Amino acid sequence: MTSRSLAIRDATADDVDLIFRFIERMAEFDGRLGALQATPEMIREGLFGAVPHAAVLLAEVDGVAVGFASYFRTYSTFLGRPGIWLDDLFVDGEARGCGIGTALLRHLARMATACGCGRIEWTAGIHNDRGIDFYRRVGAHIRENVRLCRLDRDAILRLADSDSA
């Protein structure tokens, strides 16, 4: 990327279709395209509606979007500080290995520093060796002793409607 211009910018509502295409490519890359439930309209509402739930950074090389990071704010009662949860980090195939992912994470780290965040966290697939190696190179500590717990929409509804302990 010696003579190319890399820019990281906040996504706007005009970028929803682009963001959705990245989400589709990421789902395809992860072998989970069939599990994708989001629509562009849902992304628009979630990112740019009356109460935004997350935000997106776009990475552009010479004005062409090549990757994105979606994130939202968290709070740690253990640290007594805010944090950032990195939900997605994706760089298009031809742009991988050129420092785009590092630039997106660096931008998030600078945001976290400015907001007094105590940490940035995310998950990585257990078999995503290339990603895990990358995360280690940027200084992440991989916590092997933690399991991700999730209530999907049906489980949320069942729990909300239950009266038993």
| DSSP per position, 90-132 | EE-GGGTTTTHHHHHHHHHHHHHHHTT-SEEE----TT-HHHH
Residue 71 designated active-site: no
* Residue in 135, 137, 143, 160 annotated catalytic: 135
* DSSP bridge pairs for 83: 74, 119
User: In the structure encoding, which two tokens stand for residue 48, read together?
Assistant: 């740019």
- The strand order across the sheet containing 6-10 reads 6-10, 55-61, 64-76, 81-91, 119-121
Q: Which two tokens stand for residue 92?
A: 């298009």
* Residues noted as catalytic: 135
